[in-house]
Structure formats: C-alpha cells, structure tokens
Amino acid sequence: MIKLVRIDHRLLHGQVAFAWTPELGVDAIMIVNDAAATNDTQRSIIRMAKPQGVKLAIKTVEDAITTLKSGKTNDLKMFVIVGNVEDAVSLQHGYPEITHINLGGMKAREGTHNLSKAVNLLPREEEEIKGLINDGVEVELRQVPGDTPIPAQKLIK
C-alpha cells in the first residue's frame, strides 16, 4: 500500500528519512527516478541516507510501474519519492491507484516561478499538475508532516 507519493528533487534526504518516514509509519521507500536508478554513484548516495529498518528500492519509472502492478509491494507500507513532476505524472498514469501526491521540494530553475518557499514550477509542470487534479488526484503542498497541507489548486492559477 502506498502511503504517500512525494515529488522532491533531493529524493532521499534527512527531512524525508527522519520526519516523513516515521510519521507515515512506512516499512519501505521506493525512489522512482530514471537518472538515479541508472547511476551507481547516485544510488550509493541514496542508500547511505536510508533510515535503518526500512527497505529501499531505486527504480526507473517503467520498472516502478511494473513492480507496483505486479502486487509484490501490496503487503508493504510504502513511501514513494519521485524527483520531478514528469515522473510523478508518468507514474500516476501507469499506476492510477495513486490518488494523492505531495509537492515537497522543487528547486528554482530558469523559467520557474515560486509556488511556495520550496516549490518552483515551470508553466509546463503547472499544466501537468492541473491535469492530475482534473483527473481526480489530490495534489498538496507540504514540507514536513506537521505543516498544514495546502491544496495545489489554491496556488496554481
């Protein structure tokens, strides 16, 4: 069972490991990012940030969809982290059981505008998020579990 899908360009880091993971009560984290899944150095760095007692998988988007559909993860309480909006959209379209996405950390890049202090979106990403919302996916902004979730539709025009 997926407890939360979070978009965070940092993937697995302290806030995720020590705030979100215990709050969600998960026993597995799945990092879904094509670049991380195919880069040995990045995979090693991610493994070092893994909290003790929690399983970790680092998958491409395609492999994650296949794994989720296979039923192999049904008995796990999972926290799924993707690195960007595009991966989140692809994952949700491939596995429509995902009905809730958290916008956590998306760094400023050329052409982005600030949606919150930690979430910066390109116009294309805003449109993709609007599409998710129109498809019935709940999209929220929240940095840490104790923050009040803000529905993305309140901030995206």
Residue boundaries of the structural domains of the chain: 2-154
For 2-154, CATH number out of 1.25.40.10, 3.40.35.10, 3.40.640.10, 1.20.140.10 equals: 3.40.35.10
Residue 99: how many CA atoms within 13 Å on its side-chain side?
3
Provide the 8-state DSSP code for 149.
P
Which regions of the chain does DSSP assign to beta strands (E)? 2-8, 28-32, 55-59, 78-82, 100-105, 113-114, 120-121, 138-141, 150-151
pLDDT tier at 16, thresholds 50, 70, 90: confident
The pTM for the full model equals 0.95
What are the pLDDT digits (tens) for 45-74? 999 999 999 999 999 999 999 999 999 999
Count Cβ atoms below 10 Å from residue 37 Cβ, excluding itself: 19
